Structure 1
Amino acid sequence: MKISDTTSQDTILEPRPRRTRLLWISFGAAVLLMTVWMTAPAIQRWSQAQESVSESRLRLATVTRGDFVRDISVQGRVVAAVSPVLYASDMGTITFAVESGDSVRSGQVLATIDSPELQNRLLQEKSRLASLEVEYQRQNISTQQQQLENQKALDSAGITLKASRRELARAQQAFDQGAYTAVELDRARDDLETAEVLHRHAEMDAELDNNRLEFELQTRQLDVDQQKLLVEDVERQVNSLTLISPVDGIVGNLLVDQKTNVIRNQPVMSVVDLSAFEIEVLVPESYVDDLAIGMVADVRSGNQVNNATLVAISPEIIDNQVTARLRFEQPVPDGLRQNQRLSTRILLEQKQDVLMVPRGQFVESGNGRVAYVVRDGMAYRTPIVMGATSLSSIEILDGLQAGDTIVVSSTDLFNGADTVLINN
């Protein structure tokens, strides 16, 4: 049996021209060269990179130049600028006339303290004052009587002196006429001298005795004045048993119970002045050296931002924090409440034309001395010198230029590599 072949089904092909083959070879070579040219930089970067990280895992930022504001943000608490605490002036039983939270006016009676001992002392001192005033009046009358007696003695001595002078004149005239002897004339002269001496002594005695009487009367007056001061002091203590509100506001805390026995100088209640509020903030210890009285601050209450000024800094550090006070610039915002929490921002420093970048975790990753500059898909480890830091920005003193793009997120993924390939 004869098996036929497939010759009848074959088609005879014409051989291709050599030129067409060369064109296809040239085209393939060109495509290959183009591919190599385009991928060569990527291959070169890949060969240089020590690490490779996806761009989606990084946060990039551009170095800019502008005004740098260094500030801190802390939580503040509304406190009354004036919140006096009232103390018991003496021991006794206290009776409150108001309750905690009541509105009060300046001068309103808030509480009274019953102190029988102090009341009794006031009565005793008043009684002693009355006794001293009687003694003063008695001494005054006695002084006037004695002064009158002294004046009588002086007047009597004066009359005797005048009589002696007249007697001497008559004796002299009689002696000149031969009616008196020399002995009688000398006797008249002796009487005049005696009268003069007695008159002079009477004047001196009257003056000294009057001075003594005035001194004794003045002593009595001083005793009265001293006792008056003592009575006024005790009256002041008795009046201070009535506690008066020093300001317009509300009653704060009642520090003791109603009808409780209190001791001297014991705090019993507080009054809050609602017309003046301040903000008490706790500032971290690391910022203490940067704080200064008079610094400007912003206080946010809802959607409203109010200006404030730093007015007080505590000298004591507690739990690594320092207490400071901010005072609102007029007018004080409405609707504030005691102990209300508010966000505050204290402006520490402001510089102009400063090279800066947004704040990020790269600071902690590189200890503030290293940044990764991104160029052509590669991140290059670059030494930097940082300056001041704020809540949102960091001042760059050296190592970067305006327009540079750096990695501001954590660079722990780079493992300290000098070059890192960033994949899209």
Structure 2
Amino acid sequence: MLRAVTQTLPQSQPPSGAAMDRLLPGTARGARRTWALALLAALLLGGGAWALRLRWPALPVVQNPQLGTVRAGEFRDELQLRARAEPLRLVQLDAQEAGRVEAVLVQDGAVVQAGQLLYRLHSREQEQLLMQRAAEVAQQQANAALQRSAWVSSLGQSRRELAQLRHQAEDAALQLQRQRALAAEGFVSTAALEQAERQADLSAQLLEQAREDQAAEQQTRRASLAELDRAVGGLQQGLALLQRARAQWSAPAPISGRLSGFALQPGQSLRPGDRLGRIDDLEGGLQLAAEVDEFYLPRLSTGLGAESESGPLVLVQTLPQVQGGKARALFRFSGATPPLRPGQTVELRLQLSAPQPALLLPDGPGVHSPLYVLKGRELHRRSVQLGRRAAGLVEVLAGLQAGEQVLLSATPHTDERLSLP
């Protein structure tokens, strides 16, 4: 009897071909050669790049570049100015005398009237000088009075002496006449007659000499008194000046208006010429004062118009003095003066010429010929022709086209090409 033998066969799987793979001789060596060639190529490329870098160095990089675009527009030839309101009429207050501030009678910003006292000074030196000058005047006046008294006494004495000498001369003349009559009749000797003649001549000479001496003395006294009077007059004038100076120790306001910049303090020492402040005439109107760069001075002329939020203005004066590269220009309102206060600032636009179409470029420290124009990631140096500058814009005359970008900021480099960071 036959037995059936049951055998479990494995499930069939698709052929993978793994039994056919085997390592051929020389394959590992070829892989290593390929990697070596790749490494060598990389080294050659790196070395070439390094050689190129050494031959052509990198472009200078502009740090924090500011770029502006050239555009077509309307060039408005105007200046943006900040003006300050000033009164048309004002008076500067200066110290006239030296001294110490004893009292301040008004405060800064107060409205004062003409003649109102502003402050009082005190000067011990001036007081002493005033007392000394007054004593000198009194002493010289007393001397003049004594001289006049002596002159009057001398005049009286001289008149008495002249009267006595005149009387003696008249007696001598009468005695001579009698002696001559007696001598003619033979009653008087010739010697007596000669004696009478000599006496008459002597009396006449004494009288004439006294008159001359007294005239000379009176002339001398008169000249002396005139000199003394002039000296007293000079001392009196000096005393009057000191008294007027003392009156100026209480300084009155010269005009009515608002006090500005007045910062005196009690105890403060003043010298002649010290600036104390000013008084603005509130009824005299206002003007605007602006500082203009000296570059624009040749283009400023009286009558140019300006615009502001407070109303239209006109340029009335350009002061020739230039300080710190700036000159002062004065404007007045064409119509009614708006309610502004002295010291208030106003923004205005001064129109130098009529608007014209032009290529415009934002102004900046790097905007000059030549300048740098953007191409890709590089800046190329280019010579251009620039025109007027106004309101932060520059007029482009030649060398640029609309849409190009230009380096506005300054750079220390002068290479033909620069790179952006």
Whether these two folds match at TM > 0.5 is yes
The one-letter code of the counterpart of 2:360 is G
Q: 1:223 aligns with which of 224, 231, 235?
A: 231
Over the aligned positions, Cα root-mean-square deviation in angstroms equals 3.8
Q: 2:314 aligns with which of 289, 307, 329?
A: 307
The one-letter code of the counterpart of 1:251 is L
* CA distance, structure 1, for counterparts of residue 70 and residue 359 of structure 2: 14
Which deviations, in whole Å up to 9, do the C-alpha atoms of 1:210-235 show, x marking residues without a partner? 01211222232123212211211211
2:343 alignment partner in structure 1: 339
The answer to whether the 8 A contact 1:71-1:346 is kept is yes
The one-letter code of the counterpart of 2:114 is S
The one-letter code of the counterpart of 1:200 is E
The answer to whether the 8 A contact 2:70-2:405 is kept is no
Q: Say if 2:132 is the partner of 1:132.
A: no
User: Shift of residue 126 of structure 1?
Assistant: 2.3
Q: Say if 2:265 is the partner of 1:261.
A: no
Q: Say if 2:305 is the partner of 1:298.
A: yes
The one-letter code of the counterpart of 2:82 is Q
Q: Say if 2:283 is the partner of 1:279.
A: no
Q: 1:232 to 1:303 in 2, by over 3 A?
A: closer
TM-score if structure 1 supplies the norm length? 0.64
User: Shift of residue 77 of structure 1?
Assistant: 1.4
2:361 alignment partner in structure 1: 361
The answer to whether the 8 A contact 1:88-1:268 is kept is no
1:238 alignment partner in structure 2: 246
The answer to whether the 8 A contact 1:362-1:407 is kept is no
2:162 alignment partner in structure 1: 154
* CA distance, structure 2, for counterparts of residue 202 and residue 337 of structure 1: 84
2:95 alignment partner in structure 1: 87
* CA distance, structure 1, for counterparts of residue 276 and residue 305 of structure 2: 36
User: Shift of residue 279 of structure 1?
Assistant: 2.4
The answer to whether the 8 A contact 2:312-2:335 is kept is no
The answer to whether the 8 A contact 1:87-1:269 is kept is no
User: Shift of residue 256 of structure 1?
Assistant: 3.4
Q: 2:201 aligns with which of 189, 193, 204?
A: 193
* CA distance, structure 2, for counterparts of residue 58 and residue 312 of structure 1: 36
* CA distance, structure 2, for counterparts of residue 186 and residue 252 of structure 1: 99
User: Shift of residue 209 of structure 1?
Assistant: 0.7
* CA distance, structure 2, for counterparts of residue 76 and residue 312 of structure 1: 14
User: Shift of residue 332 of structure 1?
Assistant: 6.9
1:72 alignment partner in structure 2: 79
Which deviations, in whole Å up to 9, do the C-alpha atoms of 1:143-199 show, x marking residues without a partner? 111122122222322222222222222222222222222222222221122122112
Count the aligned residue pairs. 322
TM-score if structure 2 supplies the norm length? 0.64
SS at structure 2 position matched to 1:335: coil
2:121 alignment partner in structure 1: 113
User: Shift of residue 238 of structure 1?
Assistant: 1.1
SS at structure 2 position matched to 1:254: coil
Q: Which runs of 5+ in 2 are unaligned?
A: 1-68, 371-382, 407-421
The structure carrying a bigger strand percent of its residues is 1
Q: 1:367 to 1:90 in 2, by over 3 A?
A: closer
User: Shift of residue 251 of structure 1?
Assistant: 1.7
Percent identity, aligned pairs only?
A: 13
Q: 1:305 to 1:235 in 2, by over 3 A?
A: same
Structure of larger gyration radius: 2
The one-letter code of the counterpart of 2:213 is D
* CA distance, structure 2, for counterparts of residue 286 and residue 395 of structure 1: 19
SS at structure 2 position matched to 1:84: strand
The one-letter code of the counterpart of 2:314 is N
Q: 1:250 to 1:362 in 2, by over 3 A?
A: closer
Q: Say if 2:177 is the partner of 1:169.
A: yes
